[in-house]
Chain A
Amino acid sequence: AQSVAQPEDQVNVAEGNPLTVKCTYSVSGNPYLFWYVQYPNRGLQFLLKYITGDNLVKGSYGFEAEFNKSQTSFHLKKPSALVSDSALYFCAVRDNQSAGNNRKLIWGLGTSLAVNP
């Protein structure tokens, strides 16, 4: 079965330190991977995606993610965390078992990031 795992419910980092939010996936075929962020009482915002090409993907707000095919991972990273990065982060992968206009996303359960001043 296709799935996405975010092994950490909560990640705490100090402001200015690097941050990593982990994501692993299981999907048939080539993975299409995504990260979204949700600030309190807001909708989700697209951060970045990997479809093909360079394994290091750069996205919004200084975030980047590294695709690792052998480890089936797509960890989100940022060199220097800000307090304003505190939010809920979701990893998602395209469902490759549906076709055409019936494609949809499979979502991880989310990781709550808290950046402490």
Chain B
Amino acid sequence: DTEVTQTPKHLVMGMTNKKSLKCEQHMGHRAMYWYKQKAKKPPELMFVYSYEKLSINESVPSRFSPECPNSSLLNLHLHALQPEDSALYLCASSQDTVNYGYTFGSGTRLTVV
């Protein structure tokens, strides 16, 4: 298995909703990442987990809450989002944070209404 699987592929949520994005990989990668990407822009790093511990939080608002239940799973919990949070949310993994041959998932297209 050489893929990163993200669910759901599309999500529409209201500003008072709570939802979660899920990411899964079975490549034995020990680093996992959440990125946010606006159309035709480079991805913006949000969080990095290394060996299941949060190692980077790029000053992301608390309405985004990451969770790494085990080495294969990464969640992003969403609460009280704003319309400007609408974007493509990408999960990625790599063997570690030094080897940057990231494998990206196809992303979750999030729309906040």
Chain A positions near chain B (C-beta within 8 angstroms): 32, 34, 36, 41-46, 49, 88, 90, 92, 94, 100-105, 107-110, 112
CB neighbours of A92 from chain B (8 A): 100
CB neighbours of A45 from chain B (8 A): 104
B61 within 8 A of A: no
Chain B positions near chain A (C-beta within 8 angstroms): 4, 6, 31, 40-43, 45, 48, 50-51, 55-56, 90, 92, 97-98, 100-107, 109
A52 CB → nearest B CB, Å: 13
Residue in B4, B31, B41 whose Cβ sees the most chain A Cβ within 10 Å = B41
CB neighbours of B6 from chain A (8 A): 43
* Known A-B contacts A101-B55, A102-B55, A112-B40; A43 and B97 likewise in contact (beta carbons under 8 Å): no
CB neighbours of B55 from chain A (8 A): 101-102
Question: What are 29 A-B pairs at a CB distance below 8 A?
Answer: A34-B100, A34-B101, A43-B6, A43-B107, A44-B43, A44-B90, A44-B92, A44-B102, A46-B103, A49-B100, A88-B40, A90-B42, A90-B43, A92-B100, A101-B48, A101-B50, A101-B51, A101-B97, A102-B55, A103-B97, A103-B98, A104-B45, A104-B97, A105-B100, A105-B102, A107-B42, A110-B40, A110-B41, A112-B40
